[in-house]
Amino acid sequence: MRRRLRTALALVLSAAPTGRRAGHARGAAGPAPTEDRLSGARGTAPAPGRPEPGPGERPGSRNGGGPKTGRGPARPAPEAGRRTVPVRGTPRERLRAWAELLRVSALFSVPGDALAGAAAVGRRPDRGTVLAAGASLCLYEAGMALNDWADRDEDAVDRPHRPIPSGRVSPAAALGAAGALTAAGLALAARAGRPALTVATGLAATVWAYDLRLKHTKAGPAAMAAARSLDLLLGATATATAASAGRTAGDGGRPDNVAGTSCTSATTSARTPGVLAPVLPALPAALVLGAHTYGVTAVSRHEAQGGSTGTPLAVLTTTAALAAAVAGERRGRGLSGPAHTAPSAPGAPAPTTPSAPGTRHVATGAFGAPAHAPGAGRATPAPTRTTHAPPGERPASAAFGRLPALVAGAAGDPGRLLTLGLTAAYVRTAAPSLLHAALNPSPPLTQRAVGGGIRAMIPLQAALAARAGAPVTGLAVMGLVPLARSLARKVSPT
């Protein structure tokens, strides 16, 4: 009898589903079988290190918990423009994120604008120059923060490692920093005088218009060039205004070598709309710096995708032309810096007027050479200039071909030799990376060309200062190159 009962029970159990055998003595229903390759075939226990599924969840429904191939749902990819959640890191990580956002390695290309502007109007750096440099730094960094805030959706696709798309800096914090830095820059410019504040206001408006509206239009490079030119004019305006105010308070009306008027008239003009007249000699230097900036901005428009060969070649030609313009000899008024105010009659001695403290007599000869330098009174033949490049020769090679003749003509003149050396440093910094980007317009090489163009602004500013008759200022500006190069290895300027 017992044997028959065992046989019948075995038949009943063999007919029941496999998943119902566990716990049937208590009448409990087991979970439905699932396919789980990590915990075993048709197993229900979670894999080691995997949390138990919560109520109402199916096994494998969590992100990263399901099978990597097969029936599990795929993890959704991040969408462009999706709100980034700020990532809180260590203080050092947050500091590095802000350094990348503000591109601090490019900061060393800014103070030279104010110094070159002061040299262009024939002044030594003073309190106004320092205030202008501080205002320029603040407005420059405001533009960097605003640039990343405006491009946050585009960077989420092309540059997800940037501070805002990666969540290391929130968009609100970047926008707030741009506003605060703009206010600080205008406040520093206001301390330098109303004329400097006027120029700084135009500079700030240009920066915000470029980042928010003009960057992706055809007017983008022109707007960036205008911003850099205004930056140099800001240094010239602040320096001239501070010098005029200092003379009025100190000696009550001695002649002014730059403005060509007495201190009393210069002070009166500081309260009139014609206050920018003393900085007109700085316009040529501002245009040279703006032209270089235009080329760098044009190349930067292809740094994310690459693919442009003509733009780096055109900018390389422009670089050669600018170098020839800075190093070339100009009769009468120099490229940057005024001539003597009162012309003398033929054969009459040069006028010697007492100069105000802090005023340099800007040379009327080439490269800011002193008018009474040894051999200045000799009749020397004017250098031969080639107005058109020979057939088959490119303009860039024609400009570079003039350099040996310029070096030979500058022998014995330290000022001209210094200007030539600084101009050669400018070409050496900008040209190789532009040539590489033209031969292989890949994004890395294009970004390297942009970085080289940013660093090349420093020797260009130094050459402009030396040509204006301020060799010490030019050497001081050139001393920023090692610092910029060292920091560029840690934080990219692009």
- pLDDT tens profile 80-131: 445 555 566 788 999 999 999 999 989 999 999 999 999 999 999 999 999 9
Model confidence band, residue 484 (pLDDT cutoffs 50, 70, 90):
confident
Residue 214's pLDDT is: 94
Q: For 391-394, which contacts have Cβ atoms below 8 Å and span 24 or more sequence positions?
A: 394/317
Q: 457 with 140: CB under 8 angstroms? A: no
In terms of residues, how long is the chain?
494
Over residues 321-349, the mean pLDDT reads 58
Over residues 213-225, the mean pLDDT reads 94
Residue 237's pLDDT is: 95
Q: Which residues, 6 or more positions from 88, have their beta carbon under 8 angstroms from its beta carbon?
A: 94
* CA–CA dist 311, 125 (Å, integer): 37
Residue 177 or 247, more confident: 177
* CA–CA dist 317, 284 (Å, integer): 19
Tokens of 91: 């203080």
Residue 17's pLDDT is: 54
Q: Is the dihedral of CA 324, 329, 333, 339 positive or negative?
A: positive
Question: What percent of the chain is predicted at pLDDT more than 70?
Answer: 59
Q: 132 with 247: CB under 8 angstroms? A: no
Residue 246's pLDDT is: 61
Q: Residue 7 region, left (φ>0) first, then alpha (ψ -120 to 50), else beta?
A: alpha
Residue 390's pLDDT is: 43
Q: 3-7, 60-64, 142-146 — which is least confidently predicted?
A: 60-64
Residue 384's pLDDT is: 42
Q: 164 with 170: CB under 8 angstroms? A: yes
Span 261-290, pLDDT tens digits: 334 443 444 344 455 577 889 999 999 999
* CA–CA dist 461, 326 (Å, integer): 10
**Mean pLDDT of all residues in the chain?**
74
* CA–CA dist 145, 53 (Å, integer): 44
The percent of the chain in helix, strand and coil, each rounded to the nearest 5, is: 60, 0, 40
Tell me the whole-structure pTM to 2 decimals.
0.67
State the number of CA atoms in the 13 A half-sphere of 148 facing the CB: 34
Span 143-159, pLDDT tens digits: 999 999 999 999 999 88
DSSP 107-145: GGGSHHHHHHHHHHTTB---HHHHHHHHHHHHHHHHHHH
State the number of CA atoms in the 13 A half-sphere of 489 facing the CB: 5
Over residues 50-64, the mean pLDDT reads 45
Question: CA angle at residue 458 from 457 to 461, to 5 degrees?
Answer: 85
* CA–CA dist 186, 31 (Å, integer): 70
Span 166-212, pLDDT tens digits: 999 999 999 999 999 999 999 999 999 999 999 999 999 999 999 99
Residue 47 or 425, more confident: 425
Span 448-480, pLDDT tens digits: 999 999 999 999 999 999 999 999 999 999 999
- Closest by CA to 173, choosing from 192, 153, 146, is 146
Helix (H, G, I), strand (E, B) or coil at 58: coil
* CA–CA dist 406, 373 (Å, integer): 18
356: pLDDT strictly greater than 70: no
Model confidence band, residue 401 (pLDDT cutoffs 50, 70, 90):
low
Q: 332 with 364: CB under 8 angstroms? A: yes
Q: 334 with 467: CB under 8 angstroms? A: yes
315: pLDDT strictly greater than 90: yes
Q: Which residues, 6 or more positions from 113, have their beta carbon under 8 angstroms from its beta carbon?
A: 133, 136, 228, 231, 232, 234, 235, 289, 461
Residue 160's pLDDT is: 93
How far does Cα 28 stand from its chain's mean position? 71
Q: 196-200, 390-394, 443-447 — which is least confidently predicted?
A: 390-394
Q: 134-143, 224-233, 394-403, 437-446 — which is least confidently predicted?
A: 394-403
Residue 454's pLDDT is: 93
Residue 192's pLDDT is: 94
Over residues 36-65, the mean pLDDT reads 43
Residue 489's pLDDT is: 84
